[in-house]
Every structure is written in structure tokens, then in C-alpha cells.
Structure 1
């Protein structure tokens, strides 16, 4: 059906005259047919667009599943991180002990500075460059600290045993491990000094991520670590103390661990 251009009444597509107003449509019928075709095409496109919009608003978004790394690859990455960031500083600490204390015979203050400085960058990199958090690396560095101190004592024992100044019979007065409570306590304090230096590096990385990379995805993970540690401290500290510490928790803890590293390191002198 088309519309008469004179009376706007609907007439047949093939009509040559309007049956309502009796006007001759011979010259207009071709144009009227094209207009009718265009109107039908527009109506069809409009309905299709409406249908497409309704599907876009009702269909759930397609979420691609996350592709996690193969288990073997994740384990290999963890082993590589542990080897580089935990065993690496352990070897450097033992080497510094041998070089400064046994080979060069430097003042113990030189070894104290090495003890404070060597673990710092490794603690920083462990948090800033890996996917693991404070609890994981804290446990790894705690083990590395005690292993370092024990191996230092063993290396001192064998260095003396193999030296030219060793006199037969001196082994009765020597031992690779402490033989008294005071000796074990001294080594314990020394290991704490190394561990606190690692911890200071980790906390400096936390402060760096918060200040320079606030949108870094690891910030949320580290926040959950602090929440776990905070819940553990509830049974030890009073609520007012926790409230005061929570305001500047990371900065206060960084200062405290630095002081602890220095204090327990001096105890070894």
C-alpha cells in the first residue's frame, strides 16, 4: 500500500488514480513506490536495532577464565626465588664472615655492617618482585638467618682446625656449635639481627609500593598479610596499643626492626 500525495489516503501499489480524490497518479506512482520501499526498509532496520539492543543488555558478559600457570612452572618459580633471595644472602653473609673475621681479621664492627646491609636489598626484592607475601618470605628469611649463623660458627671452628696455628689438643676446648646457654643465646640474638635486617627490607618494599605504585595488585595481598599478623597480635598487645600502632603500622615496624637489627648485632660484638 502507498499513500496518495493529494489526500494521504492509502491506495494500492498499482493504482494509477486515487479512488478517494480521483486524482491522476500516473506521473507520481513511481516515486510513491520508492518512498514506500524506503519506509519499509527503515522500519525493518529499526526493529533489528531494537532487538540487538535488548540482547546486549540482557545477555551476561562473557568472562574468559583465568589461565593459571602450570603447577610445575609455579614450583620452579618458587624454587628459583628461594635460591636467589634466601640462599643468595645466606651465602653472602657466610662469605662476609669468612672474609672479614677469619681472613682479614677486621674489627667486628665491619661484620656488623655487613650483617645489616646484605639482607636489606634481598628483603626488598622479595616483596617488590615476587608474588609471595610477608608471611612466606618472613618464614624463609627466618630460616636463612639461623642457618647463616650456625654455618658461621661451623666455618670458624674448621678454619681454626685447619690453620697453621692449630695445636693438637685444642679440639678439646673447641666445638662447631655453642656448648653453653650463653653461647646459644648470643647466636640467637645474632640470627635475630640478620632476620630483622631482612624484615626491614621487606617493609621498605611495602612502603615503596604504597607510595609509588598505589594501584599495584600486590598492595591488597600485603594488606591481608598485615590483617593476619594484626589478628595474631591481639592476644599479645592491649587494644589501645594496637590502635596506636595501626595508624603508622608499617613505618613504626620498619623503625623497630631496624633498631632490633642494630641492637642484636651489637650484642654479638
Structure 2
């Protein structure tokens, strides 16, 4: 097989997985137009349309779906063969793409990025932090991070650290004007930031103590989807915020923020790194997993 033919097949495989010429180009390190040209060349050579294209979407024809089904195992074997060369190298090499919630990415990945790259200088780590719901297979990620191990079929979950907990925080100036709440029910008399997902849907402040669980839904004037903004809102003294304790730790230690309701804020579920069960586990991804487990 000529190099041009292999490049065309690789371009088609990337577009078929991402359903996007742009994302396929980003994965392959070329422009979307170069990917489109390669796929058009493949279709001209085989004489069959493999992709349906509109201005908004890309989908597979029946012929394209059949080709992808046969190509995927072959490219997986090629990836395994290349990765096997790692045994002849001192460290893993190649790119590992990780998706993580923006609200926890800095806490979980921040401490390991430097040591991981220092120990594996030929490893390329790409991290996309977003709180929107992501299909890691469709968007070309090697793995994702989420709370809890309840995953859809076909995924493998590996428990990683640290175990996170929420904290209710406010500024000293705020507590000069309002008495600190003693139990979750007291929050009804306070100004509280509404926590929302990127979709705009709100999620409650959840508490538990001695087997009793309480969910409180704020109705305050601020609705935020970013924990850094929530922390800043609390520092400004305008409201209480319900954030990951790790995002507020430095401000709690400096005295710019004060925690309340601590006995009600129990540790959350463990975090898990997950990846497709049938995916070849590259040496790079194994290095990431070991770093996060440690």
C-alpha cells in the first residue's frame, strides 16, 4: 500500500470517528481542507461515496460504515505495534488526550502534570477541561475523568485520587453582616450562589450527616458555572458559595474565606479515570493512570 493511500485511509478514519473535518484535522495536525482533500481522493479512488456532508454535519454512508468497521481494528493493531516499541525506549512517547471537568481539573491534574512530563519527556499531554457532558469516543479522547464509576457499557473505570469534598465558604465581611449558618436549613436566610451546569441547569447544594441527607436549592441573584468565579463571588462578600474545598483552600488558609457547615460536608464519591474497554492501553495512558493513582 502506498503512503498516499494509507494517509487517505487515516484521514477517513479520523473524520468517521469525530464526525468532523475540523476535529479530524486537529487530531492529525493538518488543516480541515487537507483532510477533506484526502477523503475526496479516497472516494474518487474507490469510486464510492463514504461520507454524507452537509454544512452542519458529517455522517457515514453504508459503505463508509462498513469500511470503518474493518479499518478500526487494523489501525488499533498498528497503534499497538508502535506502542510495543516503548519497551526499547526509556520512557513512553506520543500524545494522550484527557477530558476532565473544569471544576476539578486543576485539583486532580495540576499536581501531576509537571512530574509526569518530567519523568516522560517524550510524552505529549493534552487536557481539555469542560463541565459539559462529553462523549470521549466521539470527540477523540483517550480517557476522561468523572465522579463515580457508574459508566455506560464498554467503559473501564480506574479509581484515582484525591477524594473530593464540597465546602460552603464566605468572606469575613459577609459573616460580619450575617450569622454563620449552623445547619443547612439556615441557608434560607442567606444569599447563596446558584451552581449551574454549562447547559444552564442548576444543581443543589447537597449535605449529609449521621445518615441524614439534605438538598438545598439556592434562589440567589448569582448563577455561575465556574468554581473560580464562585470563589471570587464569596471573597467579594456578596454571597456564600458551594465549591470544591480544594479550589478555596488557599483563601481559607489566608483568612480571605471562612468555611461553615463543615460537619455537613462529607467527602464525595471517588474520582475515576475511564476509557473504552476495547481501546488499546498505550504506554502513555498507562503512565497517566499510574500518576493519577499515586
| The two structures share one fold, judged by TM-score above 0.5 | no
Q: Give TM-score, length-normalised by structure 1.
A: 0.24
| Bigger strand fraction | 2
More helix by share: 1
Greater relative contact order (CA < 8 Å, ≥ 6 in sequence): 2
Structure 1 or 2, whichever has the larger Rg, is 1
